[in-house]
Amino acid sequence: MKKLVILTGAGMSAESGISTFRDSGGLWEQYRVEDVATIEGYIRNPELVINFYNERRRQLPAVKPCRGHELVAALEQYFDVTVITQNVDNLHERAGSTKVIHLHGELMKATSTRNPNDPSQIITLDADHMDIHMGDKAADGSQLRPFIVWFGEAVPEIERAAEVSSEADIYVVIGTSLNVYPAAGLVQFVPERAPIYLIDPKDVPWTANHRFRHIKKGASEGMEELTKMLKLIAED
């Protein structure tokens, strides 16, 4: 079974109604990135940051995976699929994808302020206990914080994502500006023999020395088109 690797960004979740950070009307216009998405902002005002992610977490039950998420999951019938996502929501999992690498953390998890990437400190929140409060402690006694990789922090899953990318037989990029590193650099690891498909309605800066096919559509419409093409490849 061929290895299909799919890198997804905000454009995928936007079709489910989740606000993006970069587009007009996005979250960056309502909050300063320095205040809610950096470790310095968290140290300055942890309550503001914790409440910001509490608000985002509360939105999750009200949104559903879009058709694009569902089509990605359905490709597991034909390929060995790994999803690498820059999104912190759980929509890929809810759509049925079984192998998902979250580069920027997971909104439904909390962790230690002292040792954020220690697996023993990470807990999964549930629908009945979605909020983190000031005074909530991790196992090591430090304040619980969102399990989110903020700007300037190490990306613990990037090496695994690079390894998976280097093993791809087919590579798909959906709904990402390819502006945020190190995620944007993953296309550099894709083998030359592997075709790359880019799904995005906009022009996307492309720095890799690798030809790609651009499907200039949104995530769901683009995945409808790509799925037909990939099924033909799977049948060969």
57-111 pLDDT, tens digit per residue, is 998 988 999 999 999 999 999 999 999 999 999 999 999 999 999 999 999 999 9
Largest CA distance in the chain: 57
Task: Give the pLDDT score at 17.
Answer: 84
The rounded distance, in Å, linking the Cα atoms of 122 and 108 is 10
Tokens of 176: 């990402």
Q: Which residue has the tokens 């920027």?
A: 104
Task: Give the pLDDT score at 207.
Answer: 66
Q: Are 31 and 107 in contact (CB under 8 A)?
A: no
**∠ CA(55), CA(98), CA(224), 5° rounding?**
85
Tokens of 52: 């910001």
- Known catalytic residue at 104: yes
Single out the catalytic residue among 69, 102, 104, 214: 104
Domain boundaries, position 132: 3-235
Task: Give the pLDDT score at 112.
Answer: 97
The rounded distance, in Å, linking the Cα atoms of 87 and 150 is 12
Tabulate helix, strand, coil % of the chain (nearest 5). 35, 20, 45
Q: Are 2 and 170 in contact (CB under 8 A)?
A: yes
Q: Are 57 and 107 in contact (CB under 8 A)?
A: yes
Task: Give the pLDDT score at 28.
Answer: 52
Q: Which residue has the tokens 């990402």?
A: 176
> What CATH number is attached to the domain comprising 218?
3.40.50.1220
Q: Is the dihedral of CA 17, 224, 177, 162 positive or negative?
A: positive
Give the residue from 162, 48, 157, 148 showing the smallest Cα distance to 106.
148
Domains of the chain: total: 1
The letter for the amino acid at 2 is: K
The letter for the amino acid at 138 is: A
Q: Where are the alpha helices (DSSP H) in 79-120?
A: 91-95
Low-confidence stretches of the chain (pLDDT beneath 70): 19-29, 180, 207-208, 236
- Which H or E element spans position 68? helix 67-74
Give the residue from 112, 105, 107 showing the smallest Cα distance to 155.
105
Checking DSSP bridges between strand 123-124 and strand 80-85, what pairing results, if any?
unpaired
